[in-house]
Amino acid sequence: MREVASSNRALGDQPLTLVAGAARFPHAALILSLAIACNTILTAGLPTRTRYGAEAGRIAASIAEGNGFSSPFAQLATGPSAWIPPAYPYLLAGIFRIFGVFSLASYWAAIGFNIIVHAVCCVLLYKVAGRVFGRLVGCCSAYALATFPLLFYPLVLLHFIPANAVVGARGLFILPNNIWYNYLTELVILVLILYTLDSPHWSIYGIAWGAGMLTNPGLLVLAPAFGAHVLTQRQRKSRQYLGLAVCVAGLCTLPWLTRNYLVFHRLIPIRDNFGVQLKVGNQPGEKGLWKHEVFPDSSLSELNRLAELGEAEYDAEARKEALQIIHAHPSEFVGNTIRRVGYWWFGIPVPSERLGNLRFLKNLPLSAFSALAFYGVVCAWRSRNRGAFLFVVVLLFYPMVYYVTHTYSLGYMYPIHPEMLALAAFALVGEKAATSPLMLTTGLPGQTPT
């Protein structure tokens, strides 16, 4: 009888945890299923592509054909490359090895991967946003992320939302047949937020950052703020924890850095095309927009020059040219940077014969979405929600590299849509209805610790 009573007491210590876990599971399963179903239905109605992935697809094809990580451009083989980070091209190359290079089977396998990653992101958003802002916000933001593509694509067909046929960007979402690393970057950001909140073993945290940098080195801009959050949350040995995590992240990227040094005979931190992006986005008179005439994939003369100089040297020359332009026109650079901030959050100017002077209405959905997200930032600041700091950091810092280069595609914004949706949902739901478990356990003013 004592054993039974002891067992009952042990179970009685955790009923709320068990009930909460049981309550969350149906939502997570439904969100996962809904995200898969919506993107699958949308994919079925989209045209099939025989060539896809732009630079990522071409490099993946080169790897699968035994030519190594090289030749990101279709018109000409340009030799070894570090044009984009390696994680996604190698993953896509694995698909090509199994199903064939640019075969129909590879196309559907790549889309299937995108759909699964997107669905996992929806569940992670439910978990992370629910913990930071409360379950209602977690539900609203996750269901929105799951259904956005199917809900808003009819507005694209009706020309109410601007479409970018090159990269599949649709302002509020990207199509599942966008064979690029947007979905993977979206996943990495959510995992980093989750691990920064939970602080797992330092090796796991370091591997997450290492994998993130090999997926999209632009995520490194988030590291100082995320590290500061870890330092404030972990009371004991926080510096040692972060130091070991940094070492593991460095070890994860070391093989790629070594490969780049041996191939290009210079230190290249993950990728080598920043100079080119800076140049194409800062041409005089372009008002902060991307000029494709000076980009290798659009200009045969530039491509031939790249092949002659080699990729790393070509990027170094492009960086020099870009800095010369910026130094010669500093006020124009400042003005263009301000324009690009507007382009990022409210949309790139789009022509419209039907709407004429009212063509700005095409960017209204994106503008409203951005405005709601930033109102959510204000609400999070008012509530003194420490966990929301990570969501706010993503909004403030992730776009910085695009502000100084270019915002050619609305798809560039897609990886931070989960964080924007969480903040927008927090703004709509209201602070009182969105009381967060994280707030209850951090001893914030006005809250009673549980």
Tokens of 342: 């507007």
11 occurs within a structural domain? no
| pLDDT given for residue 358 in this prediction | 63
| pLDDT given for residue 448 in this prediction | 33
Spell out the residues 6+ positions from residue 194 whose beta carbon is closer than 8 angstroms to its own: 124, 127, 128
6 occurs within a structural domain? no
| Residue of 397, 364, 385, 394 lying closest to 427 (CA atoms) | 385
**Which alpha helices (H) appear in 310-449, and where do they start and end?**
311-328, 330-346, 364-383, 388-397, 400-404, 417-429, 437-441
Segments forming the whole domain that contains residue 95? 26-441
Residue type, 157: L
Number of folded domains in the chain?
1
Q: Give 46-86 as a DSSP string.
A: SPPPSS-SHHHHHHHHHHHTTS-SB--SSSS---B--SS-S
Q: How far apart are CA 139 and CA 135, in angstroms?
A: 6
What distances in angstroms separate CA 259 from CA 53, 139, 309, one per listed residue?
23, 44, 19
| Residue of 176, 139, 142 lying closest to 168 (CA atoms) | 176
| Residue of 395, 357, 400, 359 lying closest to 377 (CA atoms) | 395
Could you tell me if 214 and 87 are in contact, meaning their C-beta atoms sit under 8 angstroms apart? yes
| Residue of 282, 289, 290 lying closest to 329 (CA atoms) | 282
Tokens of 296: 């290798």
DSSP structural state of residue 174: B
| Residue of 410, 421, 431, 442 lying closest to 178 (CA atoms) | 410
142 occurs within a structural domain? yes
Tokens of 180: 């690029």
449 occurs within a structural domain? no
| pLDDT given for residue 288 in this prediction | 87
| pLDDT given for residue 252 in this prediction | 97
What distances in angstroms separate CA 257 from CA 206, 312, 349, one per listed residue?
17, 13, 38
Element (H, E) at 295: none
12 occurs within a structural domain? no
Could you tell me if 296 and 306 are in contact, meaning their C-beta atoms sit under 8 angstroms apart? yes
Q: How far apart are CA 369 and CA 167, in angstroms?
A: 21
Q: What is the pLDDT along the chain (450 residues), one digit of tens a residue?
A: 444 344 333 334 444 343 344 446 788 999 999 999 999 999 998 888 777 878 999 999 999 999 999 999 988 899 999 999 999 999 999 999 999 999 999 999 999 999 999 999 999 999 999 999 999 999 999 999 999 888 888 877 776 776 654 455 566 788 888 888 999 999 999 999 999 998 899 999 999 999 999 999 999 999 999 999 998 876 667 888 999 999 999 999 999 999 999 999 999 989 999 999 999 999 999 888 888 889 998 889 999 999 999 999 999 999 999 999 999 999 999 999 999 999 999 988 776 666 566 666 778 888 999 999 999 999 999 888 888 999 999 999 999 999 999 988 778 999 999 999 999 999 998 655 544 444 443 333 333 333
7 occurs within a structural domain? no
DSSP structural state of residue 414: G
User: SS3 for 164?
Assistant: strand
Could you tell me if 32 and 123 are in contact, meaning their C-beta atoms sit under 8 angstroms apart? yes
Please report, in angstroms and rounded to a whole number, the separation of the first and last CA atoms in the chain.
Answer: 32
DSSP structural state of residue 358: G
Residue type, 236: R
| Residue of 340, 433, 343, 332 lying closest to 379 (CA atoms) | 433
Could you tell me if 252 and 203 are in contact, meaning their C-beta atoms sit under 8 angstroms apart? no
| pLDDT given for residue 445 in this prediction | 32
| Residue of 70, 69, 61, 73 lying closest to 97 (CA atoms) | 61
Is the pTM for the entire model greater than 0.75? yes
